[in-house]
Amino acid sequence: MLKKIFGAALLLIFNTQPVLAMVNAHYDNVLGTSMDISIAGVPQLQAEKAIGSTLNEITRLEGILSTWQKESQISLLNKLGSKQNLPSELIEIVELCEKWHAASHKKFSCKMGKLKELWLAAERTDSVPDRIAVRYKARDIQRSTINIDAVKNSVILDEKIALDPAGLAKGFIIDLAYAHLHSLLPDATGLKLDIGGDAYYWGKPNNNAKWHVAIADPTNLNDAQSAAPYYVNLSNMAIASSSHHNRFRQIQRRKFSHILDPQDGWPMDYAPSATVIAKDAVTADAIATALSTQSISQGIDWVNQLENVEALIVSPQGLKVASAGWHTFVGSETEAIDELSANSLQIEYQIPNLQVAKYEKPYVAIWISDRQNRSVYNLLLLGESNRWAKENSRWWRRVGRKNPDLLDGIARPTRRPGEYKVIWSGLNNNGEFDRKAKYYLNIEAAREGGGHNYKRIEFEFSPHTESASLPKKLVIPAKGELGIVSITYKTTNNNRL
């Protein structure tokens, strides 16, 4: 049974025209979780009526897309293997599944229903599946095809496939439910529709320019919902998260994540958590799911190539890596932040072409630290294993060994000799603007069987000074494994690596 809680009030100003306060409603047992709706700008009775209609729409969509309901349209399709005259919403969600499977480089998949059944059976029987057999099954599934005929509204599944669109179905339903709600309330000035933490925010709440949204800490295993150290400001945007910390299967006293790697069908051992902001909820939902099935560095590189998408990815140990534009949604919009975001350091570094008998590409680390040698932002790490990273002894001693997930988070393959560029625009490792004034730029290069060189440059970086200790452009001569390094201070660049 649905449980609802409503709250609203009328605020009278000078005993004249009443100002409509926010209408807030909470329901339990919606899509297996809870739903929160907030509406600004309309009377309470009108809002309640629209919410009731929206609940009916969500129930209708659940009857089409729920794999838990045996008589849903998707369950019947999985049972029969093919079906005509399907609802348009089911055709659309299958097309979205195929779209994001390709767009994510196969890191997202809706084909894994039979693998999910396998793991549910393993949990019931308390028996860990054979990993090699699961891997073969997963690869067969990913090679299998889905045939969609949008004219006949039909879908034909390969016999190995059972559809499970859980990775984007909630976002899809949120988008349709929001559209339904908004169509019933054209005079509303702000709408929030949140189901289980994934949400769409439109317009603005009363007396605020944007919705102030708290993001729970995914590494808080005891009470992830109570801890909200991160905040973003949203309007006409959706947000979705994917995390495995509070959802797992226990088999033979071992905990297995509910997130499966599409490539081998095995639960992710160290799946990162991801929060994604996008123009619609289904996009945010699909990308957040895909980010949980790959390394942090792969995922953040992918997000930085997508338009109108930003993400914050968090490792199981708490390492946070933000996409290039995440900071535009974070914190208060003060003049100081606007000034700071317009400043940047552009570092051009050269990997020299050394004439040696056996040349190995060097391991390069570039990072920003404070006066206590604490890492503020890791710009670059070339070398993808502990053995390589330790060659950069200063970086490893001061940064790497204290952060076991850093290699997964920022490491990139070593590069050939040539000229390269990175940019720092004042953000710290959490994707937030750092408030310190004095920093150090650290550049280190080492080569297996070769030399080791390190440079440390002090500079100032704040909204109140252009730079007290760093000229507009500083050129550092080449030395050993480090070629020429050019550092340029800019005041109009808002980019970030």
Taking only the tens of pLDDT, the chain with its 497 residues reads 455 555 554 443 444 445 677 899 999 899 988 999 999 999 999 999 999 999 999 999 999 999 999 999 999 999 999 999 999 999 999 999 999 999 999 999 999 999 999 999 999 999 999 999 999 999 999 899 999 998 889 999 999 999 999 999 999 999 999 999 999 999 999 999 999 889 999 998 877 788 888 777 665 544 434 344 567 889 999 999 987 655 678 888 888 888 888 989 988 877 788 999 999 999 999 999 999 998 888 898 899 999 999 998 888 767 778 888 887 887 543 333 444 445 677 888 888 877 766 667 778 888 888 888 888 887 777 765 666 666 667 777 777 766 655 655 556 666 677 787 887 877 776 666 666 668 888 888 887 767 888 888 888 776 444 444 566 788 888 888 888 888 887 654 333 33
Which runs of E-coded beta strand occur in 153-247? Answer: 154-157, 190-195, 198-203, 211-215, 230-234, 237-242
Q: What is the pTM of this model?
A: 0.73
Burial class (CB in 10 A: 0-12, 13-18, 19+), 473: exposed
- In angstroms, the CA 81 to CA 487 distance is 61
- In angstroms, the CA 129 to CA 120 distance is 11
Determine the pLDDT at residue 440.
87
Q: Are 202 and 37 in contact (CB under 8 A)?
A: no
In angstroms, what CA-CA distances link 415 with 27, 137, 349, 412?
54, 36, 12, 9
Determine the pLDDT at residue 322.
83
Strands 33-40 and 190-195: antiparallel
Query: Does residue 422 sit in helix, strand or coil?
Result: strand
In angstroms, what CA-CA distances link 153 with 65, 88, 95, 163?
15, 7, 11, 16
Determine the pLDDT at residue 338.
42
Beta bridge partners of 486: 348, 475
Determine the pLDDT at residue 222.
43
Residue 152: Cβ within 10 Å count: 11
Residue recorded with tokens 């020429």: 484
Q: Are 300 and 311 in contact (CB under 8 A)?
A: yes
- In angstroms, the CA 365 to CA 363 distance is 7
